[in-house]
Chains A and B, each alone.
Chain A
Amino acid sequence: MTHKPTLLDRVAERIMDLDSPAYGDERERAVFMESSSFGLTTGLYAGLVGALVASIFGAVLLPVVLLAVTILPSAAATWYAKRRDVHPRKLAENAGARSTMVGIVVFGAVMALTFAAMTYTVLTGAPLVPAPRLDVTPGEGFLGGMAQGAVVGGIIGGLAAIVGGMLSFRRARRHRDDVGLRHP
């Protein structure tokens, strides 16, 4: 980094923990970073499609939240790179890659369509496409039972993920100790 580290830089370093052995060797680290970038791009498009679909069915707040959540990781990635004197947009412009242009056009078009659908809803008071009505009372009927099960299952699943992760971490640490490869 060529700039004096700010609090945000220190938080980012703490979150990334780039010296962690969890990243593996240099090739594994490179693949991990590529896969993270792929995940970011996938999330970007998923959020975009979700915002468009929600706006078509008459939602106004949800598309805005989804678009904000979609743009945030991309903005964070751009900020992180700029702090290290890498400018992704300039790189893309200088490379003149067709795939970059296609991505920009698709993103812009879907955003415009999303806001167009929201404008329609705001001005007419009705959604572009009426959403199917679903009356769900938790605990009643098939859908109510599913909703209740999903909520309880999610809580149990989250706790199980924490316990499983901790057990896995301790197992790996014990294995490293056994082969004498413990990192300080």
Chain B
Amino acid sequence: MTQAELADLVSVSRQTIIAVEQGDYAPSVYLALRIARALGGTVEELFTNDPGEKR
């Protein structure tokens, strides 16, 4: 799945998906759940809380 396709599925812009992937933006609970559902995984699997990562 491309970033654009994922963005369309979860109703956000592609730039937002990029920002989430790069750790520049922490999605809301609702968006995180939509992304996890779209990718067939869970929020815990997709989003870690590594203190070493950028915000």
Q: Which residues of A contact B (CB under 8 A)?
A: 24-28, 30
A28 near B13 with CB under 8 A, answer yes
Q: How far is the CA of A84 from the CA of B27 in the complex (A)?
A: 23
Chain A residues, Cβ within 8 Å of B11: 25
State how many residues of chain B have any CB contact under 8 Å with chain A. 11
A-B contact pairs, 10 of them (CB 8 A): A25-B12, A25-B13, A26-B12, A26-B27, A26-B31, A27-B12, A27-B15, A28-B15, A28-B16, A30-B25
Chain A residues, Cβ within 8 Å of B19: 27
Chain B residues, Cβ within 8 Å of A24: 13
Q: How far is the CA of A28 from the CA of B12 in the complex (A)?
A: 9
Q: Does B49 contact A (CB under 8 A)?
A: no
Q: How far is the CA of A59 from the CA of B39 in the complex (A)?
A: 64
B10 (CB) vs chain A CBs: closest residue: A25
A107 to chain B, nearest CB (A): 29
A181 (CB) vs chain B CBs: closest residue: B11
Q: Does B48 contact A (CB under 8 A)?
A: no
Q: Does B28 contact A (CB under 8 A)?
A: yes
B33 to chain A, nearest CB (A): 13
Q: How far is the CA of A120 from the CA of B39 in the complex (A)?
A: 69
A17 to chain B, nearest CB (A): 19
A3 to chain B, nearest CB (A): 25
Chain A residues, Cβ within 8 Å of B20: 27
Q: Given contacts A25-B12, A27-B25, list 16 more A-B pairs with CB under 8 A.
A: A25-B11, A25-B16, A26-B12, A26-B16, A26-B27, A26-B28, A26-B31, A27-B13, A27-B16, A27-B19, A27-B20, A27-B27, A28-B13, A28-B15, A28-B16, A30-B25
B15 to chain A, nearest CB (A): 8
A31 to chain B, nearest CB (A): 9
Name the residue in A24, A25, A26, A27 with the highest tally of chain B Cβ atoms < 10 Å from its Cβ.
A27
Within 8 A of A (CB), among B1-55: 11-13, 15-16, 19-20, 25, 27-28, 31
